[in-house]
Amino acid sequence: MKRVYVNENWCLACHLCEYYCAFANSGGHDMATALKGVKLHPRISVEEKDLVSFAVSCRHCQEPLCVKSCITGALTKTDGLISIDRDKCVGCQTCVLVCPYGAISPAEDGVMQKCELCTKNGCEPRCVQGCPNAAIVYEER
């Protein structure tokens, strides 16, 4: 299955992935109007220290602890894709407690959100499209 992979050698810590993610999931048509003055809750986040940086988003684990631990059944895995039914989620954050990558976080409303590879946005992952240096790629490995 195609997944998002990150190569820190090419990450520039520009944080564009976060903005493209937030934009893709905002449902807006123009980034300027969609994100202006908005506190961002991207589903991918850049970790930085000194000269090293890289983006982290859901790895869509083969044995996903988040799905197994979810107390509501909101997190499910279908055809390799781990997605969340935000309607079912109550924000207990058990998934945050178990995700080894720190890739799940609450949205503005406290309900959890995670990378779903833009499958609900009808496009290829926007973080990948928005990365200026192919530090984030979407491919089969």
Binding site for another protein (CB under 8 A): 1, 3, 5-16, 19-20, 23, 30-32, 35-37, 47-49, 51-52, 54, 56, 59, 61-62, 65, 68-69, 71-73, 87-88, 90-102, 104-105, 130, 132-135, 141
User: Minimum CB separation from another protein for residue 88, in Å?
Assistant: 5
d(CA 98, CA 67): 10
Residue type, 18: E
User: Minimum CB separation from another protein for residue 37, in Å?
Assistant: 8
Query: Is 71:42 a contact under the CB 8 Å cutoff?
Result: no
- Helix ranges (H only) for the chain are 16-24, 31-35, 65-69, 94-98, 126-130
- Number of C-beta neighbours around residue 27 at 10 A: 9
User: Minimum CB separation from another protein for residue 79, in Å?
Assistant: 14
User: Minimum CB separation from another protein for residue 112, in Å?
Assistant: 11
Q: Which residue, 1 or 120, has its beta carbon nearer to another protein?
A: 1
d(CA 69, CA 107): 19
